[in-house]
Structure 1
């Protein structure tokens, strides 16, 4: 069971900070940090007796696990839109998610508006930290503390903008604290190329000034590291087709000695697998009988089995599709970790009732009944959200190496790809998931793309991968979805934000 100390970073906001930070696109303050937990500004145990920005940094970690950032809209936007998942639950439930599944979303979709607001709230939290550093009234604050805080803040800002630019395309760049009344500051959208350049600058600073995972006190497990910055930077480069830069950033993570593939695929998604050597970036969550929800995340709840009694575990959204079910190679152990079948048996030997609303559920968010009894909750608020795993970095390295081409890069790509398959087939029957041997660039590209689908099934990669590969329209249409090319790659800009901006915010094509 996770300890109270373990979750200091990301779960305890020590002061209530309310600043009217507006974009001309907000009905409530972007920075809306509520006091949570037992500590306050007077008794918070700063590491080594120092840490004047920690209370504000903690607010940003709290924003990262906010419902609008990494819960329901996140699941819909990153996974339900893809061919790997369907909306799930019942036909009458979750209309805004159904719109994403069917590609009928409009600018009035409330989840999309929440997603926009949640990420700009995280951006504003980061900007507030940077403003505190810049205007620190204490002349004795150590420069090292300022740099560390700045690096964390810029990572948060970069993460939020990366999610925004992939989801909406052009978005407003806000790089400082803005005060005023709602609607008083209307900032136009910046071209994606400018947003990506902004993200890269923030992540390069974070990567250069944060320490590696093992250098930080274990009491603050889950905090942002140099590995997280370089790993996210690799994905930013990969998304833009900057293959050499992506390869180099991924290589830094792989050679850091901080991460490996030693954790079994099944254990990655157990509580015991949280913050393991597979973990590069996780949203931290915890729960106990006294606090079953307040310090947790609803990420697992929105995807849990929708049933009755002991099997009423959640809302039943984000269920594996028939296409995903059929995609696995024979005997691939990852399938059992990923798909829970109605009428089957759980990973923990429990009989799953037949006749549930959906035939399949996301098994990566499941927990044993004994844990639910211990916490007096069936909604698994204690599960962390895995945002970046080491396997992702390894496959990014493989993809970038193959795209660069050449004898050595092809060799490196094969080695990286096959290391993922070797981990996946541990304990399986002989002949399962044989090594890929082709050196043909096109065939190897297809193999890497396929491996990404299976390795990260029901996580948060598939739709964005399809978009950057340029195959999203064909795949979605073949899957029976009403996907319109040059429209549905992006979400609509929320109409309420456009109205509040007095027309400054333009709409994406087709909406």
Structure 2
């Protein structure tokens, strides 16, 4: 790894390589390290990798950092639409399209919904182009192993894209090859058909991706990421035995553990730690502040003036989530970044006193950027912050849920308590005490609670309450009384897409 200020000569493909995502490499991004995912003369092309197809793969990887894939529309749809978070900032900021994600209903004309539809299909298109090149290109010289590896990476990314799409919209067109304009107007496949397709893609990826990559290849997908995502797909389908098996493969791989303290996971020093299974890479420099990054930290950063002008203040944790924490749970402080008051001074994870002037009483502390990095880059926006998609604790809790539902309650409790032990840290044993019940119903509720707290303000809560069948009661309890599960469990099919299809696409129920 090279120092940030060491002059290097970029090769022509350098910018494309910035997009890489992580599957646990233990390679961290400190102030004295080379920016992750960059190519230099001594490391391009990747020896022994799927290099012949990288130009196509990188277009797909790059989509993971796109605004319309993983920024505003994504966290509005996965976090703000849940019972854990509110839109934040001022009511008018973002307009009706943003606030309707909080207050419901989301209209078919919502611009965020249409943007995300386009973003995910762009990702899928780039995956299909890669796979087509692997099978049909005659000008690329590649070994069979290079072909298989490139296809496995592309099929993972395509499976991930479709998994989000089927959970957002239910019925979506299934596109498995590059299409012409005249052949692109496809009807929607059923959710069951989409899930079968996702399983096929992720199973292939899990069987053909490496367990790990060399550290200098930080960002490429591994079999652990594929099995972890496959476990979540099976869990969503309530295929408990398959979910437990897929999660077990990850847990027995030796690549991941719960050794990273909870308060370190989300900052710059926690990137690509042993906790990381699937992580979107981002980077910046003093000269290039945004082109190779992702905008999540800026959209969720503190909204205020002066030194606290860190972002737009969207996606803020609410009182309903705060009330769910057990007494003295250390995870609360790493999730809620609290505004100071006239009588109480609160601190950031880096020890700074917060201000009394913030627009909102709390912000997402998991998205708070290190002030040293802000000084280094001469910028407050945080585009360099990686985005965690799948953490190891999530895999452990998926195993716990699947095990409990398939009759292995003892194994479920052991897994559940391992997450609570890490969360407890150095606190007294009375904090987050071990779960001791052997009643599957009690353990089920304990696992659901733990998922809510452990993964708070990330991107799982809405999908969890929908698959558990509790979205209506959970949202009503949070005061989101306009929510109607029969309509709002799914987003509307964008009206723009229905119009472009000339009626081939049909609307979801209730819209």
TM-score (norm 1): 0.90
How far does the alpha carbon of each residue in 1:196-251 deviate from its partner, in whole angstroms, 9 at most, with x for none? 000000000000000112xx121111211000000000000000100000000000
Q: 1:190 to 1:50 in 2, by over 3 A?
A: closer
Distance in 1 of aligned mates of 2:39 and 2:270 = 28
1:331 matched to which residue of 2?
328
2:395 matched to which residue of 1?
393
1:55 matched to which residue of 2?
55
1:117 matched to which residue of 2?
118
- Gap runs ≥5 in structure 1: 15-36
2:497 matched to which residue of 1?
497
1:47 deviates by 2.2
Query: Which stretch shifts more, 421-430 or 253-262?
Result: 421-430
Corresponding position: 1:230 with 2:235: no
Aligned to 2:492, the other structure's residue is in SS state coil
Q: In 2, are the aligned partners of 1:246 and 1:400 still within 8 Å (CA)? A: yes
How far does the alpha carbon of each residue in 1:417-454 deviate from its partner, in whole angstroms, 9 at most, with x for none? 00000000011134110000011111100000000000
Distance in 1 of aligned mates of 2:260 and 2:180 = 47
Aligned to 1:487, the other structure's residue is in SS state helix
Corresponding position: 1:429 with 2:418: no
Aligned to 1:177, the other structure's residue is in SS state coil
Aligned to 1:13, the other structure's residue is in SS state helix
Q: 1:329 to 1:49 in 2, by over 3 A?
A: closer
1:13 matched to which residue of 2?
16
Q: In 1, are the aligned partners of 2:88 and 2:313 still within 8 Å (CA)? A: yes
Distance in 2 of aligned mates of 1:323 and 1:3 = 44
1:103 matched to which residue of 2?
104
1:86 deviates by 0.3
Distance in 2 of aligned mates of 1:106 and 1:50 = 43
Correspondence 1:25-174 to 2 at 5 A: 44-48=44-48, 51-95=51-95, 96-138=97-139, 140-174=141-175
Which of 280, 283, 296 is the matching residue for 2:280? 283
Q: In 1, are the aligned partners of 2:158 and 2:201 still within 8 Å (CA)? A: yes
Which of 214, 218, 230 is the matching residue for 2:215? 218
Aligned to 2:51, the other structure's residue is in SS state coil
1:246 matched to which residue of 2?
243
How far does the alpha carbon of each residue in 1:133-172 deviate from its partner, in whole angstroms, 9 at most, with x for none? 1112147420000000000000010000000000000110
Q: 1:432 to 1:50 in 2, by over 3 A?
A: closer
1:50 deviates by 6.7
- Gap runs ≥5 in structure 2: 18-36, 341-345
Aligned length: 480
Q: In 1, are the aligned partners of 2:267 and 2:370 still within 8 Å (CA)? A: no
Q: In 1, are the aligned partners of 2:14 and 2:39 still within 8 Å (CA)? A: no
Corresponding position: 1:353 with 2:355: yes
Q: In 2, are the aligned partners of 1:11 and 1:295 still within 8 Å (CA)? A: no
How far does the alpha carbon of each residue in 1:467-504 deviate from its partner, in whole angstroms, 9 at most, with x for none? 00000011111212111121100000000000000100
Corresponding position: 1:266 with 2:263: yes
Q: 1:244 to 1:289 in 2, by over 3 A?
A: same
